[in-house]
Every structure is written in structure tokens, then in C-alpha cells.
Amino acid sequence: MKTKLTLALLLITGLSFGQKLRDSVYVKTKIFEVVYSEQLEQPKWLKYESVNRPKNVDRTGLDFYTVPNVHTSDAADYAKNQYDKGHLAPAATFADSEENMKATFSYLNCALQQQDLNRGEWRLLEEQERAWDDKETLKVLVKLKYGTIPQKLPTGATIPVEFQKHIYFDKQKKWQCYFFNNIKPTSGWETHLKPCKIHK
């Protein structure tokens, strides 16, 4: 009986470790929608709405967390390298409640973003969004691009080569799209505005 139980546990463990990583997993949360690649350990795209929310809480003490049933990146992927845990849906945009703020710290909402980009022009564009959403609701689509031969870290996560932010202005009925290579920026966020070829 003991031998059979041990064998059964080994088989279950083997199946668990042998599960195939998925190319695209769709997840909808209260504040964002995302398609996440378990194979890349990074998001493919993420959508959220930026509206004029009050600032009631801050991010003190919060850190990113993994989620059940989706194989994501984790803290090891961001250790001792030039990449930040870059928010796609910004924490400050969802500072109206502890629940919303904490939801932005899911690894589903996190990507390997070059530290100067994350702390510089990407952050400044996020601040501009919050100025724009004082006047109208914004629908934001963040898309991540990966190389033809994706570059993986030794820890397993894949490094994006480009971050795109497609912003729809609800009242004006127009799109503005910003394209950032995943490197240290050499010019302001305004210079990254390009035509939105996929939108009409």
C-alpha cells in the first residue's frame, strides 16, 4: 500500500511539473484585462481605464505577488539587473482604494522594463495621463513586443524589446500612441508619439 501511494504521488508530481506552459492566458480583474504568456513569463498586452479617481492610499509596504494558476515571472527575474518591475496599469492611477492599489501589484501587471525608462519617460507619461483624465476618460492599451529570437534571462523571463501605449480619448474620439524601445530614453515622452496604424 505504501509503495502504491508513493508511486501515485510521484505520478501526480510528474504531471504537475510536466504541464505545458501556455502562450496566451486571458485574465480579467476588477481594474484591468491582460493576455499573459506563461512561455515568455511576461504580458503580451494589458488594458485599463484611466479616470479621475481620488488619491486615498499610497503604495507604502506593497510589493508584487504571484497569482494562482498562472505561471508568471517572480522576484528572481528582477534581481541584480537593469530591469525594474514595471507597472503596466499604474499604481498611482488606482490609488482610490487599498483593494485597487494592491491589484496593480500582481505579476500579471508587471514587465521587465529598463530602469531608466520606468523611472523616467514612462513614469512621466503616466503622470500626463492623470492630468488628461481630469477632463475625460482614457482607455489605455499597453502592448509589449519581443524580438524575433526572444532574449531570456537565466531565471526564465523574456525581455521585451518595445513598450507601446495606445491611449483613446473618450470625448475627443481619438487615439494617441507612444512607442518606447526598452532602453534608456534619450528624449522626452512627447517625442515617442507615432501614428496609430492599427486604429481608425
Q: What is the pLDDT of residues 59-76, one digit of tens each?
A: 999 999 999 999 999 999
Say if residue 89's pLDDT is above 80.
yes
- Number of CB atoms found within 10 A of residue 95's CB: 19
Q: Which pLDDT score is estimated for 102?
A: 98
Q: Which pLDDT score is estimated for 19?
A: 80
Distant-in-sequence, close-in-space partners of 108: CB < 8 Å, separation ≥ 6: 27, 29, 34, 36, 43, 46, 67, 70, 72
- Please give the model's pTM, rounded to 2 decimal places: 0.89
Q: How confident is the model at residue 14 (pLDDT cuts 50, 70, 90)?
A: very low
Q: Which pLDDT score is estimated for 140?
A: 98
Q: How confident is the model at residue 154 (pLDDT cuts 50, 70, 90)?
A: very high
How would DSSP label each residue in 36-103?
EETTTTEEEEEEEEE---------TT---B--TT-----GGGGTTSSEEEEESS-TGGGTT-HHHHHH
Q: Which pLDDT score is estimated for 199?
A: 73
Query: Cα separation of 187 and 121, whole Å?
Result: 8
Tell me if 107 sits within 8 A of 33, measured CB to CB.
Answer: no
